[in-house]
Amino acid sequence: MAAMRTESDRYFAVADMVSSPQVLLLRWLEVGPYTLVNNLLLYGIATYFLLRIRKKYNLSLFAFTSLFLLFHFNGFIVTHLSIGQLSWGGYYLFPAFVLFVLELLDGDRSWIWVAKMSFLLFFIFMQGSFHHLVWSSIVLGIIALTRWRYASQILKAGVFAFLLSTPRILPVFFEMGPKISGGHDFLGGYPSLRNLLQALTYNSTPDNAWPGIVFDSRLGYWEFDISIGWVGLIVLFGFGGLAMAFWHYRERKFPVLVVPVLALVFLSISDNFLKALFYNPVLVSSERVTSRMIGLALVIGLILSAIYYQKTMDRVRKSTVLQLAQVVFLLVLAKDLVLHTLRWSVANAYHALGVTRRDLSLVHVSNHPDPDYFLVLGVGALVSILTMVFLIWIVRRESAVIKSEKTAEM
């Protein structure tokens, strides 16, 4: 698909092409079954890290179930998968990303953390989720700038993620780098902050998703849909906003993650992304549709909401009325999310939006001699392998030191 909108016929020279190990399944599966299996695999990975978050923060059944539903069935991921964004697998790695960031903020300064974050960013890139990698890098960069004590860890993770990703990065720069300095096909973000807030509760349908129907934009509404329903909105702003602000004020702590979340919100509106980067063609070329950047901000907000909901409820006396209220809220939340998901089934999206016609005569993907491309690919692979070996070695060494220290204390 990406080859149809680029001038390159080299697979690894297109940043959002999938290159993760799962693609080997295409040897035995057709595209449809492969897509299902791949999404289920990533769905399982996301759920595993959501469970890790539940264990770390001792989330109740209500808090975890709400988080599970809001993460897996919000409008952002449902609509993008429905319209065929096969490179959106990086979304399912966001729980791991947020968990690792929270571990950093809790004081993890180990090489183990550096290796985990580096491999995670590399794996996000391999899903073809180049945009998700950019958003994650923005979050880490803002944390490093606003809290210098985390900068060294983040810098190391960024450097090693870059080295791991050289088989993907070098071909892109080699093939597409000279062409980036030209015009940028920027499509925009949310028309306004008001529209962004509307998108949190608007339960759209595919037949109303054509450009210009819901918002005054040339983008389809699937680029704006982040529906979580009214209950989800209450949870997000009530506990991810007010409750979190209360606890940080009470504990005299700075809400570190609020800054990158607000930055992503700001960048997702109108042409703020272009203005923030001074219209630099190289920098702005990473994003054509900046409304998508709200996806990571939404996930961070939902996870923080669950954490601070639990922290608040731990100090509230349990009662039958409270438990009944939680059940009712959960049922209403599930109803809203299920209704939206059913409306955006692949079949409904296909019937409402049809198939985008492509002039395949313009696409030329061929196997031809290209020594420079394969040299760059080989160098990148060698750098990546050596980086993997180094990270594995230093993690094993650090683990051995930690183990020996624990043994000495016994």
Instruction: Express each pLDDT in 181-205 by its tens digit.
Output: 555 678 999 999 999 999 999 999 9
Note whether residue 327 is domain-resident.
Answer: yes
Note whether residue 222 is domain-resident.
Answer: yes
Our measurement of the distance from residue 152's CA atom to the centroid of its chain's CA atoms, rounded to an integer in Å, reads 23
Residue 365 has pLDDT above 70, yes or no: no
User: What is the band of 51 on the pLDDT scale with cuts at 50, 70, 90?
Assistant: very high
Instruction: Express each pLDDT in 375-404 by its tens digit.
Output: 999 999 999 999 999 999 999 999 998 888
Strand partners, 269: 190
pLDDT at position 373 is 87
Q: What mean pLDDT is predicted for residues 131-157?
A: 96
Note whether residue 6 is domain-resident.
Answer: no
Percentage of the chain lying above the pLDDT 90 cut = 71
Residue 94 has pLDDT above 90, yes or no: yes
Residue 359 has pLDDT above 90, yes or no: no
Please report where in the chains the tokens 């959106």 appear, as a residue. Answer: 88
Q: Are 117 and 100 in contact (CB under 8 A)?
A: yes
How many CA atoms does the CB half-sphere of 31 hold within 13 Å?
3
Task: Sort 150 into a burial class: Cβ within 10 Å, 0-12 / 13-18 / 19+.
Answer: buried
Q: Are 268 and 292 in contact (CB under 8 A)?
A: yes
pLDDT at position 389 is 98
**Lowest-confidence region among 3-12, 129-138, 316-325, 350-359:** 3-12
First to last CA, the chain: 58
Measure the CA–CA gap between 299 and 303, rounded to whole angstroms.
6
Residue 3 has pLDDT above 60, yes or no: no
pLDDT at position 282 is 75
Hey, what are 70's tokens? 């809001």
User: What is the band of 2 on the pLDDT scale with cuts at 50, 70, 90?
Assistant: very low
Note whether residue 4 is domain-resident.
Answer: no
Domain hosting 154: range is: 13-351+375-405
Split into its structural domains, the chain has a count of 1
Coil vs helix vs strand at 289: strand
E strand or H helix that includes residue 35: helix 31-57
Residue 274 has pLDDT above 50, yes or no: yes
Distances, alpha carbon 296 to alpha carbons 14, 71, 264, 273, 310, in Å: 23, 11, 8, 15, 22
pLDDT at position 332 is 97
Q: Which of 2-6, 16-20, 49-53 has the highest mean pLDDT?
A: 49-53
Residue 306 has pLDDT above 90, yes or no: yes
Read off the amino acid at residue 157: A
**Lowest-confidence region among 39-43, 333-337, 350-354, 383-387:** 350-354
Percentage of the chain lying above the pLDDT 70 cut = 93
E strand or H helix that includes residue 159: helix 151-164
E strand or H helix that includes residue 338: helix 320-343
pLDDT at position 1 is 44
**pTM for this one?**
0.93
User: What is the band of 15 on the pLDDT scale with cuts at 50, 70, 90?
Assistant: confident
Q: What mean pLDDT is predicted for residues 297-314?
A: 97
Read off the amino acid at residue 168: R
Note whether residue 40 is domain-resident.
Answer: yes
Note whether residue 91 is domain-resident.
Answer: yes
Q: What mean pLDDT is predicted for residues 82-96?
A: 93
The contacts of residue 163 (CB under 8 Å, 6+ apart) are 383, 384, 387
Closest-CA residue to 111 (of 406, 402, 371): 402
Residue 4 has pLDDT above 50, yes or no: no
Q: Quick count: other Cβ atoms within 10 Å of Cβ 410?
A: 4
Measure the CA–CA gap between 111 and 105, rounded to whole angstroms.
15
Note whether residue 274 is domain-resident.
Answer: yes
Strand partners, 289: 188
Note whether residue 364 is domain-resident.
Answer: no
